[in-house]
Amino acid sequence: MENIILIGHGSPKKDANNIELAGRLLHNAIHPDCDDDCVKVAYLQFAEPEITDTIKKCVEDGAKKIIIHPYFLSSGMHVTKDIPEIIKEAEEQYPDREFIYTEPLGIHEKLVQVVVERIHAANGLLCECIPLGPEDIEKKSFEIIAEETDLSGFPPEQVPIIQRVIHATADFEFKKTLMFHPDAVRIGLEAIKAGKNILTDIEMVKTGIIKRWLDPFGGKVICNINDEDVIRLSKETGKTRSEIAVEKALNEDNNIGIIAIGNAPTALLKIIDVFNSESRISNLKSQILVVGVPVGFVKAFESKALLSAQNFPFITNLSRKGGTPVAVAIVNALLKMAKGGDT
């Protein structure tokens, strides 16, 4: 068993002592599936834990090999004298342990790349020392997404949606898991331009949809989860409020064009059930886009897998991930496209 110790200088300014994050990142990089505390941090001075205490902790944890890395830029006195002296004392105290001392960060081409990235970031976010506005920051974010992932193999109409989901979640995995019915984007855009309403499972999804993009088309966002009848029926039947709420809206509203489910698998399962039943709304299912991306561990993946097998327009993602940010991002991407923007 080996442990790694990442050593920082330490500062009287407490918030400057933050190499714990670097330690966690290092641990995730070299031991991605490890739950042990095998990467530890220490400070030379002004902060805790001290190097000797961290070495002792490694020994107590059973480490036979202790790798010590000075998280310093250059080989000054601390790196060449102070830390080696501490390691020498530890070797005498723990003769049955192997100590390995690495070079500091030093001059390395990857550090040059980091400096270049910092310069580019500063140029992108600052202009004459004045921070950019939200739209400029969003534009820069989409530029970064375009640089870091290749979406050239996707149908052009899907790309703005995938980009906005990645933007909302900072999770590039959605590139692999998002699924689109062949008619999904077309039906969604037609619904928006025709002034159709957007039905959501919860208020958070309703709140996140950008109304100023929807208003010019005449549609509105509706959510019945807090309706008194819905609350009463949920108590009486034991069904979730979300599934009762969406069924109530489908029965009462003749102008629904998009359904956005971000949190409730039961609501998505209810929609699939209603669409496949002999009912008024089932005859209109080819004209309604279902955005089904509930998040969670119980029925979330199963409901999305079932949705992906349907023959009516849908957008979903085949993973446990999802939630309000994803549902909102998909709908807002469609709204942006409808009003003439790419993302």
**Catalytic residue list:** 167
Q: Which residue has the tokens 């999770």?
A: 171
Beta strands in the chain (DSSP E): 2-8, 39-43, 65-70, 98-101, 126-127, 130-131, 178-180, 197-200, 221-222, 256-261, 289-292, 314-317
Contact 288, 320 (CB under 8 A): no
* Spatial distance between the Cα atoms of 117 and 212, rounded to a whole number of angstroms: 36
The beta strands (E) that lie in 82-177 are given as 98-101, 126-127, 130-131
Q: What is the DSSP string of 212-260?
A: HHHGGGT--EE--TT-HHHHHHHHHH---HHHHHHHHHHHH-S-EEEEE
The H-or-E segment that residue 113 falls in is helix 109-125
178 beta partners: 317
User: Which two three-digit tokens encode residue 231?
Assistant: 């609350």
The strand order across the sheet containing 314-317 reads 178-180, 314-317, 289-292, 256-261, 197-200, 221-222
Beta bridge partners of 258: 198, 289
- Residue holding tokens 């790196």? 79
